[in-house]
Amino acid sequence: MIEFTDNAYAKLVERLSNEKTKAIRFGVTGGGCTGHKYIFDICTSVDKTDYCVDFGKFKVYIDRLSSEYVIDTVIDWKTEGLNEEFTYFNPQEASSCGCGESIMFKPRAQENEIRAIRIT
């Protein structure tokens, strides 16, 4: 469902070493100037409908709604000068805002098919 580069995996293991939980919440939420924002934080609660992806040294929990938006995302760790951050390569992303905080997704094929059916 999602992947981590070697750099991102190592950095996440390092960051989680001082945490009680070894779990991350990854997903999307509404907000920002283009409609959605990524969630990537310590997982403090789990819903019975969440997907759980076990990476050995930590787990990633993804809510059902977010799963269709984050499938096939590759998470990387990037260092540029003094700035360090996790970055996301998501093939479903259509664009992102200039500040890099919010994203827009490509329309899903099913929605396009429904629109085509309504037009004809």
> Out of 3.30.365.10, 3.40.50.150, 2.60.300.12, 1.10.3720.10, which CATH number does the structure's domain 2-119 have?
2.60.300.12
- At which residue do the structure tokens 């827009």 appear? 104
Contact 17, 51 (CB under 8 A): no
| Two tokens, residue 17 | 């070493």
pLDDT in tens, the chain (120 residues): 899 999 999 999 999 998 988 999 999 988 777 778 889 999 999 999 999 999 999 999 999 989 988 999 999 999 999 999 999 998 887 766 666 567 777 766 444 444 444 443
The verdict on pTM exceeding 0.85 is no
Contact 13, 50 (CB under 8 A): no
- At which residue do the structure tokens 């076990």 appear? 54
